[in-house]
Amino acid sequence: MDLFKKCRYDVLDQVRAAGVYPYFHVLESRQAPVVQMEGHRVIMLGSNNYLGYTEDESVIAAGHKALDKYGSGVSGSRFLNGTLDLHIQLEKELADFTGYEEAMTCSTGFQTNLAIISALCGRHDYILNDRENHASIYDACRLSDAKVLRYRHSDMDDLENKLESIPHSAGILIVTDGVFSMRGDICKLPEICELAEKYGARVMVDDAHGFGVLGPGGRGTAAHFGLTDKVDITMLTFSKSLASIGGCMLTSHRVADYVRHVSRPFIFSASLTPSSAATALEALHQLKQHPERPQRLMEIAHYFQHKLLDAGVKIIKAPTPIVPIFTYKTLDTMFYGKRMFEEGVYVNPVIAPACVEGECLLRTTLMATHTEPIIDEAVGIIARVLKEQSPFE
Q: Please state, in angstroms and rounded to a whole number, the distance separating the CA atoms of residues 91 and 87.
A: 6
Q: Which of 47, 118, 181, 269 is catalytic?
A: 181
- What is the residue extent of each domain of the chain? 3-55+292-386, 57-289
Q: Please state, in angstroms and rounded to a whole number, the distance separating the CA atoms of residues 277 and 208.
A: 17
Question: How many angstroms separate the Cα of 146 from the Cα of each of 36, 121, 154, 231, 371?
Answer: 45, 6, 22, 20, 46
Q: Is 181 a catalytic residue?
A: yes
Does the 3-55+292-386 domain belong in CATH 3.30.590.10?
A: no
Taking only Cα atoms into account, the Rg of the chain, rounded to an integer number of angstroms, comes to: 21
345-346: strand order across its sheet? 34-37, 40-44, 345-346
Q: Which of 134, 162, 224, 240 is catalytic?
A: 240
Q: Is 25 a catalytic residue?
A: no
Q: Is 240 a catalytic residue?
A: yes
Q: Which of 87, 162, 209, 370 is catalytic?
A: 209
pLDDT at 17: 86
In contact, 393 and 334? CB cutoff 8 Å: no
pLDDT at 135: 94
Candidate CATH numbers 3.40.50.720, 3.40.640.10, 3.40.50.10540, 3.40.140.10; the one for domain 57-289: 3.40.640.10
Mean pLDDT for back-to-back runs of 10 residues, the chain (393 residues): 87 84 93 95 97 97 98 94 97 98 97 98 97 96 96 98 96 98 95 98 98 98 98 98 98 98 96 98 98 97 97 91 93 94 96 82 97 98 95 80
Q: For the chain, give the number of residues.
A: 393
pLDDT at 224: 98
pLDDT at 15: 82
SS (H, E, C) the chain: CCHHHHCCCHHHHHHHHHCCCCCCCCECCCCCCEEEECCEEEEECCCCCCCCHHHCHHHHHHHHHHHHHHCCCCCCECCCCCCCHHHHHHHHHHHHHHCCCEEEEECCHHHHHHHHHHHHCCCCCEEEEECCCCHHHHHHHHHHCCEEEEECCCCHHHHHHHHHCCCCCCCEEEEEECECCCCCCECCHHHHHHHHHHHCCEEEEECCCCCCCCCHHHCCHHHHCCCCCCCCEEEEECCCCCCCCCEEEEECHHHHHHHHHHCHHHHCCECCCHHHHHHHHHHHHHHHHCCCHHHHHHHHHHHHHHHHHHCCCCECCCCCCEEEEEEECHHHHHHHHHHHHHHCEECEEECCCCCCCCCEEEEEECCCCCCHHHHHHHHHHHHHHHCCCCCCC
In contact, 315 and 323? CB cutoff 8 Å: yes
pLDDT at 359: 84
- In the chain, what is the greatest distance between 2 CA atoms, to the nearest angstrom? 60
